[in-house]
Amino acid sequence: MIVTLKGILNADQGRGKIDRHIYGHFSEHLGRCIYEGIWVGEDSSIPNTNGIRNDVVKALKQIKIPVLRWPGGCFADEYHWKDGIGPKENRKRMINTHWGGVVENNHFGTHEFMELCAQLECEPYINGNVGSGTVQEMSEWVEYLTFGGVSPMSELRAQNGRKEPWSVTYFGVGNENWGCGGNMRPEYYADLYRRYQTYVRNYDGNKIHRIACGPNVDDYNWMEVLMREAGRFMDAITLHYYTLPNDNWQDKGAATGFDENAWFSTLKKALRMDELITRHSTIMDKYDPDGRVGLIVDEWGTWYNVEPGTNPGFLYQQNTIRDALVAGLTFNIFHKHSGRVRMANIAQTVNVLQAVILTEGEKMILTPTYHVFDMYKVHQDAESLELALETGSYRIGDEEIPAVTATASRDAAGNIHISFCNLQHQADGKVELALRGLVSGDVVITGTTLTGDKWDAHNTFDQPENVKPRTFDDFAEEDGKLAVTLPPMSVTTLKLAVKG
């Protein structure tokens, strides 16, 4: 029996702005994310502008990418930025020890990344090297990027073809320093952070948000120590959490060809994001009751076994309707915590983990996750609205998760958008919302939905549009009530456009 889930949308009760940076991305020197996925070089037969793929830029601009994190990840704490500037033929070649043992030629460096952000019209988020770098190295990178006066670094930048400084708002002081960034204790990293951030200076009116390396998953002690010892020196702190079907990092589970239990467990693990943000935010509230310090979830997404026959260090995996639902329900959680969550960066943009784009030579396809970003972009910088919904129960055996999750916002033009995720792989999701703060008949409703014909439905280079959004009209509004029937395993967005 399908139960109708009841809810109330208070269209006149805002809960604060949903920061557009929640829809950020992450690009690391890992596998084919940068090289081939984004950077092909000026001499490539693949259409490019200054070496950057035109098709990828066009696709990312379509989803209004607001911010891009680079160069890592684990790669960041072995990256020495001066290796990636100057004539390409003179740049150092090195082994990428973290990811695949391949040669990194440093052809994509600071200038190329800033050019990419300019083409995307997005903000750069740069991660500095604490694990194997020096205070001087980090200080000089900030100077090279943002100082327009007379100095060795600004002169070096001019010699490399850029006289004017760039604008950089977000700078991470280290990455995963509890692990690949140095295996540090929180007390030690807190002191290092205080030292390093001192020299991440603001030049010429450029205001940098200094971002501290925060905890891995549920390491609440790390958050406690960092907020206590260094909270007043930071503008934000990070959180990393990946969704695995199981808890075995040696055999995480397949991206396709999985069973019902893997479908269910993946969604259940993704929902844990709510608990993590809630508990870490409670610690942050203790030391930062005014909410000045932002929480940045700058690595999140699904992580499966690599596709058979691919380099295990390249982390290349397929992307299905299951991943689309992980993205949708995660955004719903971020919206709920929009007072504290100021940015998030899915891992990763192209060809790595839960990518929004896959490439194969000159070919490019959009993944189901990409389409969720496109459907949810209407929530960027919108006012989060109060939405109380019976989520229902979706059970497999003794396990239970919500059947439906939802979020709502109002944009600058007054239009309301409601997004639903029906996590049930077989059953429709029936929802009835009482619309408060709206006059019945004053809105025109349209909808879009994304679903698949099976739980591992995905796009391939032979069938690039197997999973794509379609028009949705299985709803009715009457007497201030909105009745919606959501397809199984679907992400759906409704637009309530105010007449006149």
Q: What residues act catalytically?
A: 176, 299
Angle subtended at Cα 415 by Cα 489 and Cα 63, rounded to the nearest 5 degrees:
55
Q: To which H or E segment does residue 12 belong? A: strand 4-17
Residue 58: alpha-carbon gap to chain centroid: 18
CA distance 262 to 278: 26
Residue 1 exposed, middle or buried by CB count within 10 Å (0-12, 13-18, 19+): exposed
CA distance 259 to 271: 19
* Amino acid, res. 297: V
Mapping DSSP to helix (H, G, I), strand (E, B) and coil, where does residue 11 land? strand
Q: Quick one: tokens of 265?
A: 């467990």
**Which of 431, 262, 381, 405 is closest to 333 using CA atoms?**
405
On whether the CB atoms of residues 249 and 226 are closer than 8 A, the answer is: no
* Amino acid, res. 319: N
On whether the CB atoms of residues 139 and 129 are closer than 8 A, the answer is: no
In the structure, how many helices (H) and strands (E) does the chain have? 9, 26
Instruction: Give the C-alpha distances (Å, rounded to integers) separating 245 from 22, 258, 274.
Output: 24, 10, 17
CA distance 467 to 371: 9
Strand partners, 470: 449
CA distance 358 to 346: 15
Helix axes 135-146, 186-198, angle to 10 degrees: 40
On whether the CB atoms of residues 336 and 406 are closer than 8 A, the answer is: no
CA distance 147 to 155: 10
**Which of 115, 21, 117 is closest to 66 using CA atoms?**
21
Q: To which H or E segment does residue 276 belong? A: helix 260-287
On whether the CB atoms of residues 16 and 338 are closer than 8 A, the answer is: yes
CA distance 264 to 247: 14
